[in-house]
């Protein structure tokens, strides 16, 4: 029996030392020290021993058990430490490596020009207001002196939702909404999306953007309109830019005009961009029609005002020399990245 115990000790020691991982060691613990293990098997036979042999073998059995147990614990500890060391080595982070650059977005050219334009007008004491894109016929046309029968409606290919509701064709309804609400004095710009049933090409889109301007106060004259718009254009395109006004017709202004600016490319000499004219049409404007003031409850005997409407697409394209409007909507990063 003594020999059997020694045999167990040798086998166990050899196997524990050779065990590759904690799981293998645990299996050896069960095999040698478990309830149905080899050592227990030997101890069960103790009854057959004589009274003198029993304490000697008992002591040896205990010693073998403790020896194997201690060996198992030590091996477990070593293996755990080795596993940790290996993991630390595998998961090492090199903090000196360059980081990955996060993708950084930029502002769309519309936003760049619009914020420049807002800055210019805010600097001249204007407020920025916004209004609905789904608009009443009443505000989009009726109150602007364009009753249902008016031919000027036909030039705006309108998306109607019902007979009296439509996608606004212009930002001019914001004049009416503002005058109705605030009366006078008023000094606002109203940027926003507008819609017309136009086919897409290099200069047309069914969705585009306008910025409306409106000033109403006592003693406002056409010189205020001219001076303000000249300053605006010169701030946007440079102090050498000249402007000119041509008579025009809008039902909601009287007199009405279109404003041209000297071609920013040739300086007015004439080039392919301005089609040899030296001038580029930039916006519509005029003195608010007395009837429109009256419609909004403002006394045209006391107050006068001017208004203008400018296309954001047009001034953005001029600003950056973009020759196709579709580029502004396609969101091609190769195009957009050039502005940041
Ligand atoms: N609403 C006009 C358009 O869409 C632009 C315009 C012209 C606005 C004259 C005005 C204005 O306020 O006074 O073409």
Q: What is the pLDDT along the chain (340 residues), one digit of tens a residue?
A: 888 888 888 888 888 988 888 888 888 899 888 888 888 888 888 888 888 888 888 888 888 899 898 899 989 998 899 889 989 989 988 889 898 888 888 999 999 999 999 999 999 999 999 999 999 999 999 999 999 988 878 888 899 999 999 999 999 999 999 999 999 999 999 999 999 999 999 888 999 999 999 999 999 999 999 999 999 999 999 999 999 999 999 999 999 999 999 998 888 899 988 889 999 999 999 999 999 999 999 999 999 999 999 999 999 999 998 989 999 999 999 999 999 8
Quick one: 45 and 154 in the same domain?
Answer: no
On whether residue 220 sits in a domain, the answer given is yes
How much is the pLDDT for 5?
85
Give CA–CA dist 276/295, Å, rounded.
43
Whole-number Å distance, alpha carbon 309 to ligand 1 midpoint, is 4
Quick one: 11 and 113 in the same domain?
Answer: no
Residue from 27, 4, 3, 5 nearest 15 by CA: 27
| Cβ neighbours of 326 (radius 10 Å) | 14
Q: Is the CB of 212 under 6 A from ligand 1?
A: yes
DSSP class of 102: P
Q: Which of 90, 117, 145 is the last residue of a domain?
A: 90
Quick one: 330 and 281 in the same domain?
Answer: yes
Q: Name every residue whose Cβ is closer than 8 Å to that of residue 152 and which is 6 or more positions away in sequence.
A: 146, 250, 251
| Cβ neighbours of 119 (radius 10 Å) | 11
Range of the domain at 135: 109-339
Q: Which of 28, 63, 90 is the last residue of a domain?
A: 90
Whole-number Å distance, alpha carbon 285 to ligand 1 midpoint, is 6
Q: How many CA atoms lie within 13 A of 124 on its CB side?
A: 21
The residue nearest atom 10 of ligand 1, judged by CA position, is 308
How much is the pLDDT for 39?
83
Quick one: 190 and 238 in the same domain?
Answer: yes
Give CA–CA dist 113/124, Å, rounded.
17
Quick one: 179 and 85 in the same domain?
Answer: no
Give CA–CA dist 40/164, Å, rounded.
97
Q: Would you tell me the crossing angle of helices 2-18 and 53-90 to the nearest 10 degrees? A: 0
On whether residue 167 sits in a domain, the answer given is yes
DSSP class of 262: E
CATH number at residue 224: 3.30.930.10
On whether residue 301 sits in a domain, the answer given is yes
The residue nearest atom 6 of ligand 1, judged by CA position, is 309
On whether residue 103 sits in a domain, the answer given is no
Quick one: 79 and 139 in the same domain?
Answer: no
DSSP class of 164: S
Residue from 301, 280, 219, 214 nearest 253 by CA: 214
Q: Which two tokens stand for residue 283?
A: 């916006």
Q: Is the CB of 178 under 6 A from ligand 1?
A: no
Whole-number Å distance, alpha carbon 277 to ligand 1 midpoint, is 23
How much is the pLDDT for 28?
87
How much is the pLDDT for 282?
94
Token pair 């614990």 in the structure block, residue: 73
Whole-number Å distance, alpha carbon 264 to ligand 1 midpoint, is 23
On whether residue 59 sits in a domain, the answer given is yes
On whether residue 125 sits in a domain, the answer given is yes
For the chain, how many structural domains are there in total?
2
Quick one: 246 and 162 in the same domain?
Answer: yes
How much is the pLDDT for 154?
80
Quick one: 153 and 280 in the same domain?
Answer: yes
Quick one: 132 and 37 in the same domain?
Answer: no
Beta-bridge partner residues of 130? none
Q: Is the CB of 250 under 6 A from ligand 1?
A: yes
Atom of ligand 1 nearest to the CA of 252: 13
Give CA–CA dist 128/122, Å, rounded.
8
Q: Which of 59, 90, 121 is the last residue of a domain?
A: 90
Whole-number Å distance, alpha carbon 168 to ligand 1 midpoint, is 13
pLDDT tens digits, one per residue of 234-262: 999 999 999 999 999 999 999 999 999 99
Q: Is the CB of 284 under 6 A from ligand 1?
A: yes
Q: Which long-range contacts (CB under 8 A, 24 or more apart) does 192-198 make?
A: 192/130, 192/131, 192/133, 192/168, 193/133, 194/133, 194/167, 194/168, 194/169, 194/170, 195/133, 195/159, 195/167, 195/168, 195/169, 196/156, 196/157, 196/158, 196/159, 196/169, 197/157, 197/158, 197/159, 198/157
């Amino acid at each position: 029996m003594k020999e059997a115990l020694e045999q167990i000790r040798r086998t166990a020691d050899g196997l524990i030392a050779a065990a590759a991982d904690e799981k293998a060691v645990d299996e050896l613990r069960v095999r040698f020290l478990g309830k149905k293990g080899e050592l227990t098997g030997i101890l069960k036979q103790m009854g057959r021993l004589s009274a003198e042999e029993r304490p000697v073998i008992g002591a040896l059995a205990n010693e073998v058990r403790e020896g194997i147990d201690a060996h198992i614990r030590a091996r477990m500890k070593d293996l755990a430490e080795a596993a940790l060391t290996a993991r630390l080595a595998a998961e090492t982070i090199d903090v000196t490596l360059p980081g990955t650059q996060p993708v950084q977005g930029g502002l769309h050219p519309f936003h760049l020009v619009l914020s420049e334009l807002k800055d210019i007008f805010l600097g001249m004491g204007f407020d920025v207001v916004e209004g609905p894109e789904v608009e009443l016929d009443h505000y989009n046309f009726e109150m602007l002196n364009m009753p249902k029968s008016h031919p000027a409606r036909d030039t705006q290919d309108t998306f109607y939702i019902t007979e009296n509701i439509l996608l606004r064709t212009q930002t001019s309804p914001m004049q009416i909404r503002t005058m109705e609400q605030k009366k006078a004095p008023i000094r606002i710009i109203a940027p926003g999306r507008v819609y017309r049933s136009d086919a897409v090409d290099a200069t047309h889109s069914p969705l585009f953007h306008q910025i409306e301007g409106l000033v109403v106060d006592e003693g406002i004259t056409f010189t205020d309109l001219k001076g303000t718009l000249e300053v605006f254009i010169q701030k946007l395109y440079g102090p050498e830019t000249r402007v000119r006004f041509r008579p025009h017709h809008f039902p909601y202004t009287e007199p009405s005009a279109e404003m041209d600016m000297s071609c920013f490319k040739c300086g007015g000499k004439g080039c392919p961009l301005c089609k040899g004219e030296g001038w580029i049409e930039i916006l519509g404007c005029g003195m608010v029609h007395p009837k429109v003031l009256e419609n909004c409850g403002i006394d045209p005997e006391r107050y006068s005002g001017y208004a203008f409407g400018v296309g954001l697409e047009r001034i953005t394209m001029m600003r950056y020399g973009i020759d196709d409007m579709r580029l502004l909507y396609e969101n091609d990063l190769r195009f957009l990245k050039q502005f940041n």
